[in-house]
Every structure is written in structure tokens, then in C-alpha cells.
Structure 1
């Protein structure tokens, strides 16, 4: 049986770090990215190194339904889907609120839906979320959560705007809601996939030293205060997150399903502790 792995956003940063870990887990590895040149170069490099997997690249926007169909067809041609590290996404400085929700939440749901028929016993998926929604101590509006739980509704963005109002037009707010949606989507998908013996989890990185993370830090100086308040006293590295993803995708995590793993150096705990002490 030929096992197949997928890493999205695999041209750089955390997606690439996940691809490098997956290269020793599966027989064939698909590096998926919108940047075909970078993805092809990394696939060639991985194939030329001493890894178990041979690698190939695929140019794909995860919101492209036709492109996702090509991805599933290719996996079916190659073998059995074993592992998916879905790191592709955008951050608040990269787009407006609609695009952020479309890529980070709707795109995640589209990808997982497309791959669902390929899931079998032993298939494991990790979707990237974020620590962002975990800083919000207020109970979310139930009406907003009801909309959030149906990201593939054709009027999803309009419905979410109806319940959240103009606040969601702020890119940071949209990002937080998108990632909250990923947390919740993974929980529901775990129930759907469990019947065939497949698993899905999410991972929530903290402040990670990647090109995308540095771009956000330039626009938001407050992020440096979070770094300073991180109990481990540093930013994370791509390899820190990739190691957590590798565990969740491994057989060692065979009974771990439907959860979010926070990889933030303890900063959420520090902020929550400070808030509790102030009460």
C-alpha cells in the first residue's frame, strides 16, 4: 500500500516545516501551494534528500473547488491518504475581512470536504487554527456561532455580517472568528470521520517567527508585548509547530481526535492568569 501525505501552504514557513516532517512518514508527499515555483523547488529538494517520501508539487488555491477535485484525483491515483497538514492560510494584514474568512475557514471546510471520501482507518488530518480566539473571555453570541458552524452556506459571509455587524469588517476580528470556526469545524468533523477510523485535530500556533509572522509584527507592535509576556521568553519557530503536528499525525496519537493543541509557549496561560489576578 502506497501512503500519501499532503502539506498545504508548503512553500515556506510552518507549512514547509510540516512537509519536511511528513517526508519521513509517507511514501508520496504532495506539496500544495499557490506559489508553484517555490513549491516545486521544495518538492525537488525533499525528493533529493534521504527521506522516505518522493515529493511532488501542486499549484492550488484551497478555495478553488475544481482545483480541490484535481487534488483528490491525484491522491487517488497515488495511493491511500495517510496524513494531511493543512497550514495554508492568511493573516490580518494580508487581505480584507471577506478574503480572510473565505481562505481561513471556508477554504478549510472545502479542503476537508473534498478529502473526506478518501479518509480511511489511519488517516489523520491537522488543520491550522490560531491562539487568537482564545484571548476572548466573553461568551460568543450563540447566533454568530450558529452561522459560523455552516461555513459552506453560499451566503455565509452575509449571514455572519448580519449577526456581528460592522465589527467583523475589521481584519483582526474576522481572523479571530475564522480561527474560532476552524476549532469548531474540527470538532464536528471528528464525529463524521470517526466511523471510518480517521482522525482530525487542529493546532493553534502562538507567535511564530515566520515571514508572515514578521509581517504581522511590523503592523502590530502589541505582538512584541505578547512575546515578552510568553513564559518561555521567546517566539516560536516553525519546527516547534511542525513537531506538534507530526505528533498529532502519528500513530502515537491514535486516540487523539477532535481537539485543538495550543503551541504558544504559554502566552495564553499567562494572559489568562494576569486577568484572573486582576479580578
Structure 2
């Protein structure tokens, strides 16, 4: 796939799936904007990739998202692909404490998870769509999760947010498909990333999480990133409003 002359924006781009996607897009010739709340990590990765830029952004802040896209406009003059990937689970704000039952979930954690995982995607889309339209169209991929389709106990906020992202993806696909903007989602399975490895390798969880995966291993970030790069490419030109499960067969 040839991305020469294309500009790509990735949120949550400094680590995990986002960083893997940044490297793959850059290897295919794209100019990449790496946006992340961890600005130092984003800058470090950008220095590895030819022509890449870094943006410090909190996707919960709509002004940050507008500034992020303005930086892309100034650096590249266009936007062709947006990968809205920034996200958290309840595990992060709870800082290792046990997941509470839903009726005991603190409201601030509910708001934080929804604020990043759902509001954040909306804030990014709201900022990205005008530049995509100015550029003559393009492709958007939003990161959902297995939990856009199923759920686990004690994950009310994350599950609600990811179901919401799936609905938002379909809305954008319907609304903007006629203006040459495709919008799809990728649903990663259990991926070995900095966001998850504090849980998935614990003995009490590992076997339980591996059991439903026919391939028999956790995904690596590159497994999902390759699906994203394909969804943004011309090879997927007729794919719009779809959700691609990169889950090793879990949902099957």
C-alpha cells in the first residue's frame, strides 16, 4: 500500500496500537502526526519517523483537538486519514484497585472513561472532518473493542463508551460517505499493550482470557495496526460503516 503524499493523524499514537500504526503508515510513505497525552513519548516516536510531527493532546478537551488538527494543517496542508485510537479503561483511573460493581463505580471514573473513549472520539471527529472535506475526502478509523459487541461484569463505563463509538462510526459513514469520507471501526481483541499488560499476564486472568481465542495467543499491536492501515487504503475503498474485529476469532 502506497501512502506517499498522504497525511495521517493518529491519536493515542505514542504507544501500543497507535505507535505500531504510526510506524506502518510512515513505512508506506505517509506523513504522520502522532498525537498523545504523553507529549514526550509522542515527540520521541516522531523523531524516529521521517517527516513526522508530534502533538500533545487531551482528547477530552475539544480545544486541544482543534489545535491538533490545526497543527496538521500547518505541517502537511491536508488530512487524508484519521485514526482515532486514544482510550482508557476503568483500570487506569482506579490505579490497580479492584474493579467495583456498577452501583459502586465512582462518578468521576465513569465521566473520565466516557470522556476519553466516547466524547474524545467525537471531539476528534468534529475537528478532523472539516480538514478531510477540504482535502477532498479520506478515511477515518475509530478504535472500538470486543466490548462494542459483548461485555464483562464491572466494565460499565468502558462497555458503554465502546458501544457508543460503534454507533458514532455508523453515523459518520452514513452522513459523509457521499462526500468521499469513509468511516470504519476496528475492534481489537485482547492486545498485549501497556494499557492491558498489567492485567492480562496475571495468572488469575491469563488462562481465562486466552481460552476463547481460537488462534491461541494475545494480539500484538501490529496485528491491529495492519488492519487499520488496510481500512484506510484504496484497497478498502468500498468499505464504509463497517467494524473489523481483529480478535483472533474470539467473537466467533
Q: What TM bracket, shorter-length normalisation? A: 0.7 to 0.9
1:65 aligns with 2:82: no
Pick the aligned partner of 1:91 from 89, 92, 113. Answer: 89
Contact preservation (8 Å) 1:3, 1:81: yes
Contact preservation (8 Å) 1:131, 1:204: yes
- Please list the CA deviations of residues 149-202 of structure 1 after superposition, one character each: whole Å capped at 9, or x if unmatched: xxxxxxxxxxxxxxxxxx9xx5x1110110000011000011121121111111
Pick the aligned partner of 2:147 from 128, 132, 141. Answer: 132
Alignment match, 2:7: 4
Contact preservation (8 Å) 1:226, 1:267: no
SS at match of 1:31: strand
Alignment match, 1:276: none
Gaps of 5+ in 2: 94-108
Contact preservation (8 Å) 2:200, 2:209: no
Alignment match, 1:212: 195
1:56 aligns with 2:39: no
More helix by percentage:
1
Partners of 1:92 and 1:221 in 2: how far apart? 18
Contact preservation (8 Å) 1:130, 1:206: yes
Aligned residues: 231
- Runs ≥4 residues deviating over 3 A: 24-27, 218-224
RMSD (Å) for aligned C-alpha atoms? 2.1
For the pair shown, which has the larger CA radius of gyration, 1 or 2? Answer: 1
Normalised to the residue count of structure 1, the TM-score between the two structures is 0.77
Change (3 A) 1:118 1:25: farther
1:70 CA displacement: 1.1
1:46 CA displacement: 1.2
1:199 aligns with 2:182: yes
SS at match of 1:194: helix
1:100 aligns with 2:113: yes
Change (3 A) 1:221 1:184: farther
Alignment match, 1:30: 33
Gaps of 5+ in 1: 48-53, 138-166, 270-279
2-11 or 106-115: which moved more?
Answer: 2-11
